[in-house]
Structure 1
Amino acid sequence: MSPLFIMIESVGILAFSLSGALSAARKDMDIFGFAVLALMPAVGGGTLRDLVLDVPVFWVEDTRPIWITGVGVLAVYFGENFLNSRRKVIVWADAVGLALFAVAGAQKAYLETGDPLISVMMGVATAVAGGIIRDIIANEIPLILQQEVYATAAFCGAFVYMALTLAGFDFIWLQDLALPQDLWSGPWPSGLDGVCQNERPVAQTLES
């Protein structure tokens, strides 16, 4: 995975971990509840995707998502009292996470299968499955069942990404606009070091 898509996935994980932790805050849960509800949207959809694709689960191979989720949990646990509306922040965090996960999920599925339809389906699953699990655990009606735009947005994001990929759009130039390459080379905490080193460009990966 290129540095660009590592960044997309990381920001999506952080956004979803914030939404999950805020859901726990609305239910007056303890720190364990914060962690559980943050992990569900942050890694739940990606876990389902990897199990369906029969590939190693991404957070088992690379613990970076757990570290990022921990940051989100602590940020909400100690800072949620400063928020005026937890519900609005949850909706916005969900929107960011959904958009980014739809693309990241579709990209990984395409690298594994080469099938555009499966890739779009896995992009949608990556984006929405974890949030559904979070809301069920929190004893709430899942947001995706309350607002149709959530599923539609996930589908559109994954579909547009796949359409651009099949049309030969080069995503590599976006990498330079995102973050410098050397930012991803560490040093990282244990479990993170080397995650972003020696990454192959997306175009080269697709050709192999």
Structure 2
Amino acid sequence: MLYTDPHLVRTLQVILEFLGTFAFAISGIRHAAQKHFDWFGGYVCGFAVAIGGGTIRDTMLGVRPFWMTNIMYVLCTGLALFLVILSRRWIKRLSNAWFVFDTLGLALFTIAGIQKTVALGYPFWVAIIMGCITGVAGGVIRDVLLNNIPVIFHKEIYAVASVGGGLIYWGLFALGMSLPLTVIITFVAICIIRFIAVGYHISLPTLQDEDEKKE
């Protein structure tokens, strides 16, 4: 099958993790800016978002966390901080752009998590869970640092988009589609699911306790 080329898998893995790190770092720093963090606090928040999910994934898979293998992940967050500082006057105007960066990071890291898990020999159901953790855990860490309710627990389709993308990846894998095309289709699918969900205010039903039902 076309999935057996380790060089292609590794190259795509590095590209996805770099792009995902940059996208999620911008998302985290932007949220820190809304809370009026200083530059160092913004960097810490951006870095936590960028490496949080991948670190949890790699720890669970028993391998060295990805960002410890190359200093570029650290520098990538610094570049994201610099970009946000330069655009601080337009932050409110760029609110939709920051949402796009968050969605791109979700899609990129979901795919990176799936690929790495599959490459390590785990079954695909584990890969889908690891892809979801890679994609959403950084956002949970961000929201905890900012004292917000994590997005995945309310309001928006977020983790569901990641899981949906994982299922699509699995289906394309089973059909024997080429790896680059599988990555592209999965990436687009996750972005579309999230854009449609937010654009049309689609969300999962909320839980209610007995007292609320009586009222």
Whether 1:144 aligns to 2:152 is: yes
Aligned to 2:204: none
Q: Does 1:130 align with 2:141?
A: no
> Could you tell me which of 96, 111, 118 is aligned with 2:119?
111
Which residue of structure 1 lines up, in the alignment, with residue 58 of structure 2?
Answer: 50
Q: TM-score, normalised by structure 1?
A: 0.77
- Tell me how far apart the structure 1 counterparts of residues 12 and 93 of structure 2 sit (CA, whole Å): 32
Change in Cα spacing, 1:48 to 1:131, as seen in structure 2 (3 Å) is same
Q: Residue 156 of structure 1 aligns with which residue?
A: 164
Compare relative contact order (CA 8 Å, sep 6+) and give the higher one, 1 or 2.
1
- Tell me which residue corresponds to 2:198: none
C-alpha contact (below 8 Å) 1:106/1:162 kept by paired residues: no
**Larger of the two Rg values belongs to structure:** 2
**Secondary structure of 1:168's aligned partner:** coil
Which deviates the most, 96-105 or 60-69?
60-69
Structure 1 position 78, deviation (Å)? 2.7
* 1:63, distance to aligned residue in structure 2 (A): 2.2
Q: Percent identity?
A: 34
Q: How many residues align?
A: 175
1:9-57: CA deviation from partner (whole Å, max 9, x where unpaired): 2221111000000011001111111111101111000000000001111
TM-score normalised by the chain length of structure 2:
0.75
Alignment of 1:190-201 (within 5 A): none
Given that 1:132 and 1:143 are in contact with CA atoms closer than 8 Å, whether structure 2 keeps it comes out as yes
CA distance in 2, matches of 1:63, 1:162: 32
Matches within 5 A, 1:177-192: none
Segments of structure 1 that go 5 or more residues without pairing to the other structure are: 176-208
Comparing 124-133 and 93-102, the one that deviates more: 93-102
| C-alpha RMSD of matched pairs (Å) | 1.9
